[in-house]
A and B are shown apart, each in its own frame.
Chain A
Amino acid sequence: MAEQTVEQVPVLVVGGGPAGMAAARAARLGGARVVLVESGDDLGGQYWRHLPAERQAAREQGGRVAGRPHRGVHQDVPHPGWARFRRMRDDLLRDAGCEVVLGGHVWSVDRRDGAPPLVHVLVGPPDGNGRQPRAFEPAALVLATGAHERTLPFPGWDLPGVFTAGAAQALAKGERVAVGRRVLVAGSGPFLLPVASSLVRTGARVVGVVEAAGRAQLARGWGSRPWRLLPALAKGGELAGYVRDLAAYRIPYRTGAAVVAAHGTDRVEAVTVARLTPGWAPVPGSARRIAVDAVCVGHGFVPRAELATSAGCALGADGSVVVDAGQRTSVPGVLTAGELAGIGGVDLALAEGEIAGSVAAGRAPSPAAVRTRSVFREFAARLAAAHEIRPGWQAWVDDHTIVCRCEDVTAGELRSVAALTGSRGLRSLKLTTRAGLGSCQGRTCGRSVEEILGPAGLVDAGRTARRPLAIPVRLGEIAATAAAGEDVR
Chain B
Amino acid sequence: MASDAETVRIEVAGEPVDGLAGQTIAGILMAGGRLSWRRSRTGRPRGVFCGIGVCFDCLVVVNGLRDVRACQRRAVDGDRVEFQRDDVAEHAGGQEDDHG
Contacts and interface: CB of A to CB of B under 8 A. Distances in A.
23 contacts: A54-B21, A55-B6, A127-B69, A128-B65, A128-B68, A158-B46, A160-B47, A163-B51, A170-B51, A171-B26, A171-B27, A171-B48, A171-B51, A175-B23, A402-B44, A405-B40, A408-B40, A439-B59, A439-B67, A443-B54, A444-B50, A474-B100, A478-B100
Contacts of B100: 469, 472-475, 477-478
Contacts of A407: 41
A51 B27 CA distance: 12
Contact of B27 (A175, A444, A474, A477): A175
Contacts of A41: 74
Interface string B50-74: 1111111101000001011101111
Given A167-B50, A408-B40, A443 B55 contact: yes
A405 B55 contact: yes
Interface string A98-135: 00000000000000000000000000011111000000
A440 B30 contact: no
- The interface size bin for chain A is 35 or more
Interface pairs A-B: 8 shortest CB-CB: A167-B51, A52-B22, A175-B27, A160-B36, A126-B72, A439-B56, A170-B51, A472-B99
A71 B31 contact: yes
Contact of A162 (B40, B49, B98): B49
B1 to A, nearest CB: 16
B45 to A, nearest CB: 5
B33 to A, nearest CB: 10
A440 B53 CA distance: 9
B51 to A, nearest CB: 3
A94 B65 CA distance: 36
Contacts, number: 143
A266 B36 CA distance: 9
B71 A164 contact: no
Nearest to B5: A54
Chain B, interface SS category: loop
B56 A406 contact: yes
Interface in A178-227: 179
B98 to A, nearest CB: 6
A106 to B, nearest CB: 14
Contacts of A55: 6, 20-22
B42 interface: yes
A424 interface: no
B49 to A, nearest CB: 6
B97 interface: yes
Contacts of B47: 160
A287 to B, nearest CB: 24
Contacts of B88: none
Contacts of A171: 26-27, 30, 48, 51
A109 to B, nearest CB: 16
Contacts of B40: 158, 405-406, 408
B13 interface: no
A127 B41 contact: no
A174 interface: yes
Given A126-B69, A476-B97, 8 more contacts: A54-B6, A148-B54, A158-B46, A161-B35, A171-B51, A174-B24, A177-B27, A440-B56
